Structure 1
């Protein structure tokens, strides 16, 4: 009886070690992939069946070590992994390449400029350059903002396939201020305008005292990789002021894209 228990314990330990090895192998291939990778491609790379990869991916995703890219639905390394190694911020290269352009825009307009990236559940701000004004934007650095009431979030939503957008709009849209658009059809019209104009705006929708405008940043494969945003207090940066900055924001986004080649 004791020998049987030892064998069962040994088998469980062996199975656990194998699962860890497979999970680490998946992390390795995801990290080495130049773009988000699908489960099917990942299964071929690691030579495991799709069911096994799905199970391991699900565990890694629940712990934040991998995450699904919202547009391609491929998997990339998650933010939790990089929190373990503060010396290896995955966004350092992007921040470094965009910094000069962000600073030039901040100096030119005199308002706060942010750089952010799309996440499955919102928008993560990876860099923020503030002005010297005593009244300015809240510090959004390293925080995740909602999609439906932010200028960069609206851009992401406007680029989603219709079926995926429908699923999001079926959910309750939380009001963050009295100006937050919570009616799905009204938001859908706003997103159509965002898609056409290629810029997103938020007029007091996240914080009724703040207005912002964003432009998308794509890599050379036309994958959405980031957003550049300019924002400030509504008494100083009005809706009309923002709309006048549309071309300038698109120009700044293009300048950052050129740095990604």
Structure 2
């Protein structure tokens, strides 16, 4: 008569198998995160999935490393990540916004002669969902489908400037990584920069992400006044100077307004 160990070895897809069980548990966690209206803590996930906290932490860590879940830096809870949207919708989750903004992006690129980007806010940065490159041979790198940090980008600083004070305080307690020699790493200096953005309504980055690139961004709001995206003009620093960016502020705000008129 076969014992239990023999039975398990002959049935590798048995639910009791450790590898399959881990997959099943990870999928359960994804379902629970997806069903939750806001970010959810690992403790609550473990409780709802009837898992011990260590197992839940290990599974969530794996899902986070692969981009299937994202950690909210403020609540420390988890929500579904961008990798899952890529697999299930081929970027259709942003298709509506891209289609509505595309004509404005094209027109801005033709007028300004530099690369134009469309990005959306994320908890840990900004995600570029569309990029229209300049015709010049020297141009920005392709940022499409990449997440850029908040403290050293023109669109990221806009997002920081719009955060409630408590959330901003929590974020600025974390070290600000220098991505270039011009990155702002002093929290108080960054706060002063954010005050300027609140007044000027545009964000500017002068070599802060890459010392050879400059950029300016404007926020895009929906009809409910929720922040939904950013439009950015960027180019090499030798061609797109700080003075050029400042002179284009009104044009950027006008482009953002035109996109707002096209979305709900």
**Same fold per superposition (TM over 0.5):** yes
Q: Deviations over 1:176-212 (max 9, x none)?
A: 2221111111111001111121110001111111110
Mind listing any 5+ residue stretches in structure 2 that lack a counterpart? 8-13, 50-55
Aligned-partner SS, 1:140 = coil
8 A contact 1:71–1:159 mirrored in 2: no
Q: Deviations over 1:67-121 (max 9, x none)?
A: 4778999986421212323645311111111111100000011000000111121
Give 1:52 shift.
2.7
CA distance in 2, matches of 1:170, 1:69: 15
Q: Which residue of 1 aligns with 2:10?
A: none
Q: Which residue of 1 aligns with 2:230?
A: 227
Q: Which residue of 2 aligns with 1:113?
A: 116
Q: Which residue of 2 aligns with 1:146?
A: 149
Aligned-partner SS, 1:84 = helix
TM-score, normalisation: structure 2: 0.77
Is 1:252 aligned to 2:255, yes or no?
Answer: yes
CA distance in 2, matches of 1:151, 1:199: 8
CA distance in 1, matches of 2:23, 2:154: 45
TM-score, normalisation: structure 1: 0.77
Aligned length in residues: 246
Report the RMSD for the aligned CA atoms in angstroms: 3.5
Seen in structure 2, the aligned counterparts of structure 1 residues 20 and 215 have a Cα distance that, compared at 3 Å, is same
Aligned-partner SS, 1:165 = helix
Mind listing any 5+ residue stretches in structure 1 that lack a counterpart? 31-36, 41-47
Seen in structure 2, the aligned counterparts of structure 1 residues 139 and 87 have a Cα distance that, compared at 3 Å, is closer
CA distance in 1, matches of 2:94, 2:212: 29
